[in-house]
């Protein structure tokens, strides 16, 4: 058996300067993770999760099976009921990851003869869900309401519109109120991924849609817990009939072993902790404001701060220089982003000190 076809593809990546490898940068200042509120390393939260597990008594170490078989532990029902209040939703369904939740949702609700319109900068899991659905899939220009409306007018069947509240590479936000109005005008079904606003925005970490009081006008919302909430998993929020539908037709839900009970309990405890420490959101905003004041080129009002470079090679070089200076900043290369938009993706956190942010912006001024 020859593996040359694999080697050739990898060699092509090496030659283009976008070959990926696994590795870590222990000891460097974190400007790369999605742990915006520092909850993944919060010792008090860790102790609360451990104490809660001890109180609950003996539970399985693993999920043991699909939730439709042996994996529907009582913790699931407790956290889903709790999250209904957080996200102001009629019903909640927990998934193993945001990727699985988006893929299951989009691939299940749209069918052949329908049309899916997705923002061209949407995460790949939304796009893959669209491709798996057998519906016609068309992208619309990023945050361009005119382009969206023109394509809705030409669409066939039921129309589903996919977007995000905060986009992961540019840190910009969707025009949510205007998107809702366009979708309501044409009776399109709006699906919004709140991955990078979960925890960071809204009372109790409920995200931007609840914060802007738009949640009741959205067909389906997806929330991720592995970023701002510092744990793991995700959920779909929507009508009870939508959740029942996903339990019956969402393949990544039906055929996946459930999260272990410890992970499910950690989701609930993380939200309870944040609800009692919402000052973390204010602390994060202060870091964002400081960075923007020191780096006037910033166009983002979120923890995600892209610094545009425009070349794979140069982005790698600047990233390496920053790492050698003790700052963990990673490059985002094409084809992950469009050629010519290669950049450094800087993530800000509550655990970044003022001195660290000043040092980062000083070095950027020298290197970029």
User: Three-state SS for 66?
Assistant: strand
Name the DSSP letter for residue 259.
P
Marked catalytic residue, from 80, 193, 194, 356: 193
Rounded to an integer, what distance in angstroms lies between the CA atom of residue 288 and that of residue 302?
7
Does residue 34 have an active-site annotation? Answer: yes
Residue 100 region by backbone torsions, left for phi larger than 0, else alpha for psi between -120 and 50, else beta: alpha
Does residue 262 have an active-site annotation? Answer: no
Marked catalytic residue, from 73, 88, 151, 227: 227
φ/ψ of residue 133, rounded to 5? -75, -20
Rounded to an integer, what distance in angstroms lies between the CA atom of residue 350 and that of residue 361?
17
Rounded to an integer, what distance in angstroms lies between the CA atom of residue 201 and that of residue 282?
10
Does residue 119 have an active-site annotation? Answer: no
Rounded to an integer, what distance in angstroms lies between the CA atom of residue 181 and that of residue 191?
14
Instruction: Find tokens 């309501």 and name the residue.
Output: 184
Does residue 196 have an active-site annotation? Answer: yes
Marked catalytic residue, from 73, 88, 123, 262: 123
Does residue 123 have an active-site annotation? Answer: yes
Total Cβ atoms within 10 A of residue 26:
6
How far is CA 246 from its chain centroid? 20
Contacts of 25 (CB under 8 A, 6+ apart): 32, 323, 328
Rounded to an integer, what distance in angstroms lies between the CA atom of residue 246 and that of residue 59?
27
User: Three-state SS for 221?
Assistant: strand
Does residue 164 have an active-site annotation? Answer: yes
Marked catalytic residue, from 151, 196, 215, 232: 196
Marked catalytic residue, from 40, 42, 102, 168: 168
Rounded to an integer, what distance in angstroms lies between the CA atom of residue 339 and that of residue 134?
29
Are 195 and 227 within 8 A, CB to CB?
A: yes
In 3D space, the residue among 69, 90, 30, 67 whose CA is nearest the CA of residue 233 turns out to be 67
Does residue 168 have an active-site annotation? Answer: yes
- Catalytically active residues, by annotation: 34, 123, 164, 168, 193, 196, 227
């Amino acid at each position: 058996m020859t593996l040359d076809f694999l080697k050739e593809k990898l060699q092509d990546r090496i030659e283009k300067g976008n070959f990926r490898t696994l590795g870590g940068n222990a000891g460097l200042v974190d400007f790369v993770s999605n742990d915006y509120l520092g909850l993944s390393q919060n010792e008090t939260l860790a102790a609360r999760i451990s104490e809660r597990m001890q109180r609950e008594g003996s539970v399985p170490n693993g999920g043991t099976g699909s939730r439709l078989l042996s994996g529907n532990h009582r913790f699931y029902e407790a956290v889903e009921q709790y999250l209904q209040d957080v996200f102001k939703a009629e019903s909640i369904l927990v998934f193993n990851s945001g990727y699985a939740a988006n893929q299951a949702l989009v691939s299940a609700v749209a069918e052949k003869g329908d049309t899916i319109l997705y923002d061209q900068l949407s995460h790949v899991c939304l796009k893959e869900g669209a491709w798996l659905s057998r519906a016609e899939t068309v992208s619309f220009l990023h945050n361009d309401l005119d382009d969206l409306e023109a394509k809705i007018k030409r669409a066939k069947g039921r129309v589903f519109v996919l977007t995000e509240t905060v986009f992961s590479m540019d840190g910009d936000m969707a025009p949510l109120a205007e998107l809702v109005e366009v979708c309501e005008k044409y009776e399109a079904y709006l699906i919004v991924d709140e991955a990078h606003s979960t925890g960071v925005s809204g009372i109790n970490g409920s995200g931007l849609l609840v914060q802007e009081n738009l949640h009741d006008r959205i067909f389906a919302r997806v929330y991720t817990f592995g970023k701002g909430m510092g744990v793991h998993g995700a959920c779909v929020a929507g009508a009870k009939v939508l959740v029942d539908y996903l339990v019956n037709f969402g393949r990544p839900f039906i055929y996946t072993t459930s999260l272990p009970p410890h992970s499910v309990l950690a989701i609930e405890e993380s939200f309870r902790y944040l609800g009692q420490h919402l000052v973390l959101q204010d602390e994060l905003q202060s870091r964002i404001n400081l960075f923007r004041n020191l780096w006037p080129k910033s166009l983002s009002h979120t923890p995600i701060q892209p610094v545009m470079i425009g070349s794979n090679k140069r982005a790698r070089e600047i990233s390496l220089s920053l790492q050698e200076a003790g700052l963990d900043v990673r490059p985002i290369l094409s084809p992950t982003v469009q050629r010519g938009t290669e950049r450094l993706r800087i993530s800000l956190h509550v655990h970044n000190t003022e001195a660290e942010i000043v040092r980062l912006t000083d070095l950027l001024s020298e290197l970029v």
